[in-house]
Amino acid sequence: MKTILLNGQWKLSGKRQFAESEKSIFINATVPGDVQLDLCEAGYLPRDIFMGMNVKETEKFEDYEWWYERTFTAPEEKSNVWLVFEAVDCLAEYYLNGVKFGESKNAFISHEFCVDEYLVEGENTLTVHLSSAVLDSFNHDYTIKSLKSPTSTELRHVRKPHHSYSWDIMPRVVTAGLWRGVRLEVRDEVYFSQIFFRNDDTTTRMYYVMECPDRDLSDVEVELEAWCGDDSGTKCRVRTPKRAGYIEYYVKNPKRWWPYGYGEPNVYDGKVRIYRHGELVHEEKISFGMRTVTLEREDRLGGKKGQFRILVNGVEILCKGSNWVPLDPFHSRDAAKYDKALALVSDLRCNILRCWGGNVYEDHTFFDYCDRHGIMVWQDFAMACVPPEDEEFKKNIENEAISVIRKLRNHPSIVIWAGDNECDSCAFGYVTDDNTITREVLPKCVELNDFGRPYIPSSPYITRAEYNAGVRAQVEGSILVEDHLWGPRDYYKASFYTGNSACFVSETGYHGCPSLESIKKFTTPEKVWPYKVDGKYNDEWILHSSDNFGRDYRVKLVEEQVKQLFGYIPENPEDYILASQISQAEADKYFIERIRVGRPEKTGIIWWNVLDGWPQTSDAVVDYYFDKKLAYGYIKRSQAPFIVAAGEIISWGLPIFACNDTLTEKKVHLVIRDINEDKIVHESTFNAPANTSTKIVSLPVYYSDKKFFVFEWEVDGVHGWNHYFCGYPPIDFEEYRRVMKKYNFEEK
């Protein structure tokens, strides 16, 4: 196959849609890119779009339509020529030499068109027309019941990232553009349009569909060659007169794919080839993993114990990881951030990421990294609000799901498809099982295109029986087996958290300010400090808590969490920021360790979140400028495959656990120090069983005590350590800072 890239500089023009007398804008554009970034470059928007209140300037272009244009030279070949647009945001019409050859209405997936009949010799002109996604809301009907949801009606029918219309982690930036690459392909005379690998203990079956314009498959052979690491590999070649079928590929002593901490993330690399009349006519690279994945879910109704656990290769995995949220409001910049962002995920010792439904679908580079670093992926379909139920929308979702599944299904890292984010828990008058998109359309897409991979309709998933029983997510003591723990976001050891019985927590988090250095990068000098004057929070702090509507809830929340923990509000920015970061760090550490010491009932936590997608005060533990907050080091220690951690006081004692999330028993030498009294309170050597948490000792502690304990251990010749603060707030801020400095809690 011959490929001609059409990335780089294009011409861009735009004007207010339906305003024929309006003057047009003519500027240069970069592809992949976003219109707003080109407007910044050309001076129509502030160059530093995130400084102060600047991001709100993008709203004045929301009702614009845009035309991208460039020329290219036609290839010598004039048959089987395709134009491929990897991602277009969002409502597009496509023209070649002034003739319309296609349209699309989905920013999440690629769009391809055979253009043989539209090409001319020599220079060709390609034009892409984008209409306003905001004005598109006038093209749809809205039932009154659908208006009960608080999310914007503008995003209901259009298939672009939901966060674009503002979210609690993102500003409102309704983007437009060719945000992934554009290319011209001259395809081979015979080629694969689908390849799917499915394996059992020793055999991989490669399913395939071939495309052959002349439809002559009388003398065609298909070959699969694969290897893993330094093994010699195996080759299998069969003659087939069929356009579609499968090859069975026997693997002697297969190397299994395992999540981080449980074994090696073995990936088989290889090539698939098509021979016609004995000649090689098509070849492409492939990769796959030998592993099985199972989701065991049981609700708690009818006296059942309930469970939610992920098994890989038949082994229960204690899941520890983060929600993966947008890397940037302008998604053309995502690809450049993958390496640095994913390195944080590995450094934090995550073995799972949940790709949140308000985001885009990440590209192969993301999943390739997860494949080869043992990071499981829970992939939401791109919905984060109650969707419409009309037939046109359902067909659009079906096409999107099929495209996404077929693109990504060979990545062994993907362990769950989920229908959406929080549609069940935000049903607003709908019976959850009445959502035909997540109960009928999406599961059928998974069943037909990726059979065997687990699917759940929503996160958190609420069955009809649970709905009828009055179950709601975010209710103290909820009986949901998988839940999002947000609620009042008060003291991190409040009963909302301690009383929740979820086996698997797929969202939870706590706020922390970015560093003062980072705050100065996105806040005008006069608004850096104080964040509040005469009882009124300043507008830049409000906007950069991701609130486009001037509500001070999240700025106030950070303030209250600081006061909750320390009993007062520091008056200078350095101390206030540190206090908020301590509050966040202790909370995140507690949430993770509560799950780990809670085995076997507890099976996983996916906290919110690693990295900010724009400059803000948030739950992220690394800010937009890649500056790590205090919580980063705390989480890194708490997520090591083996740790020692504390439970909560019970029966006059503080239970201490060895948490061994590996498949080998560990011999441990442990020393526990009471920092306040500067003495060793426990020392022992013991064996920690594989893949479980075991109580070691109970330290005598009163509820009225305020103690710092440091746990130090030796396992497999490696030294590890952890700390635990015991006692109710308020904590003495200066004492905490002294201990933190002495024992280097800031280590990242």
Q: If you average pLDDT over every residue of the chain, what do you get?
A: 94
Task: Output the pTM of the full model.
Answer: 0.96
Indicate if the pLDDT at residue 136 is higher than 60: yes
Rounded distance between C-alpha atoms, residue 431 and residue 409, angstroms: 31
pLDDT at position 149 over 70: no
Query: Does one domain contain both 309 and 451?
Result: yes
The per-residue pLDDT for 428 is: 61
Residues 647 and 591 in one domain: no
Q: Which domain holds residue 55?
A: 2-134+174-185
Residue 323 lies in a domain: yes
Instruction: Evaluate if residue 472 carries a pLDDT over 80.
Output: no
pLDDT of 590 reads 97
Of 288, 319, 354, the domain-final residue? 288
CATH number at residue 256: 2.60.40.10
Residue 429: the pLDDT is 59
Asked whether 747 and 588 are in contact (CB, 8 A), the reply is: no
Q: Which two tokens stand for residue 28?
A: 């240069």
The answer to the question of residue 214 being in a domain is: yes
Contacts of 590 (CB under 8 A, 6+ apart): 492, 493, 497
Give the mean pLDDT of 94-103: 98
Tokens of 566: 């320390």
CB-based contacts of 280: which residues, under 8 Å, 6+ apart?
Answer: 273, 274
Q: In the 8-state DSSP scheme, what is residue 515?
A: P
Q: Work out the pLDDT band at 475, boundaries 50, 70, 90.
A: very low
The pLDDT assigned to 23 comes to 78
68 lies in the same domain as 208:
no
For the segment 491-511, the average pLDDT, to the nearest whole number, is 94
Assess whether 438 and 459 both reside in one domain. yes
User: Which tens digits make up the pLDDT trace of 246-260?
Assistant: 988 888 888 999 999
142 has a pLDDT exceeding 90: no
What integer pLDDT is reported at residue 509 of this predicted model?
Answer: 97
Same-domain status, 601 and 726: no
Answer yes or no: is pLDDT of 482 > 70. yes
Give the model's confidence band at 425: pLDDT under 50 very low, under 70 low, under 90 confident, else very high: confident
| Joined tokens for residue 472 | 């709601």
pLDDT in tens, 527-558: 999 999 999 999 999 999 998 889 999 999 99
- The pLDDT assigned to 474 comes to 44
Residue 610 confidence (pLDDT) above 50: yes
Residues 12, 110 share a domain: yes
pLDDT at site 747: 85
Tally of domains in the chain: 4
Q: Is residue 164 part of a domain?
A: no
Question: What CATH number has the domain bearing residue 481?
Answer: 3.20.20.80
The C-alpha atoms of residue 122 and residue 242 are separated, in whole angstroms, by 38
Range of weakest confidence among 7-11, 200-204, 519-523, 635-639:
200-204
Whether 263 and 401 share a structural domain:
no
Q: How far is CA 652 from CA 270, 695, 727, in A?
A: 59, 15, 13
Q: Starting at the edge strand that comes first in sequence, how are the strands of the sheet with 279-288 ordered?
A: 234-239, 220-227, 268-276, 279-288
- Stretch 446-472: mean pLDDT: 88
Residues 6+ apart with CB under 8 A from 86: 32, 110, 180, 181, 182, 183
19-23, 191-195, 355-359: least confident range:
19-23
Across the range 386-409, mean pLDDT stands at 93
d(CA 450, CA 467): 29
Q: Report which listed range, 95-104, 196-205, 495-504, is most confident.
A: 95-104
Q: What is the pLDDT of residues 642-675, one digit of tens each?
A: 999 999 999 999 999 999 999 999 999 999 999 9
Q: Is residue 19 part of a domain?
A: yes
Whether 413 is covered by a domain: the verdict is: yes
What letter does residue 531 receive in the DSSP assignment?
Answer: S
List CB contacts of 606: < 8 A, sequence separation 6 or more: 319, 321, 322, 323, 352, 353, 354, 378, 505, 506, 507
Q: What average pLDDT does range 324-339 have in this prediction?
A: 98
Higher pLDDT, 155 or 80: 80
Cross-sheet strand order for the sheet of 203-211: 191-199, 203-211, 244-250
- Give the per-residue pLDDT at 447: 97
Length reported for the chain? 748
Please state, for a pLDDT cut of 90, what percent of the chain lies above it: 82
Q: Give the pLDDT confidence score for residue 473 in this predicted structure.
A: 43
Q: Determine the average pLDDT of the residues in 326-334.
A: 98
| Confidence bin at 150 (pLDDT 50/70/90) | low
Check whether 571 has a pLDDT greater than 80. Answer: yes
**Residue 401 located in a structural domain:** yes
Are residues 424 and 300 part of one domain? yes
State whether 596 and 626 are in the same domain.
yes
At 471, is the pLDDT very low, low, confident or very high (cuts 50, 70, 90)? low
Mean pLDDT of 5-19: 96
Average pLDDT of span 116-137: 96
Mean pLDDT of 709-713: 97
Per-residue pLDDT band at 446 (split at 50, 70, 90): very high
Residue 588 lies in a domain: yes
Residue 430 pLDDT exceeds 80: no
pLDDT at 291: 95
Q: What is the DSSP letter of 155?
A: G
Domain end among 153, 185, 217 = 185
Q: How large is the average pLDDT for residues 12-37?
A: 93
Give the closest residue to 248 by CA, choosing from 275, 224, 278. Answer: 224
Q: How confident is the model over 243-300, as pLDDT tens digits?
A: 999 988 888 888 999 999 999 999 999 999 999 999 999 999 999 999 999 999 999 8
Residue 617 clears pLDDT 60, i.e. is over it: yes
Q: What is the pLDDT at residue 477?
A: 53
Cβ contact 691:316 at 8 Å: yes
596 and 671 part of one domain: no
Q: Of 270, 288, 306, which residue sits at a domain end?
A: 288
Strands 504-508 and 604-607, bridge-based pairing: parallel
Q: Give the mean pLDDT of 56-75.
A: 97
CATH number of the domain to which 646 belongs:
2.60.40.1930
Report if residue 125 sits inside a domain: yes
Give the H or E element holding residue 405: helix 391-408
Same domain, residue pair 347 and 434: yes
Q: How far apart are CA 513 and CA 574, in angstroms?
A: 10
Average pLDDT over residues 86-109: 98
* pLDDT given for residue 197 in this prediction: 95
First to last CA, the chain: 47
Q: What percent of the chain has pLDDT over 70?
A: 98
Q: Are residues 258 and 394 in the same domain?
A: no
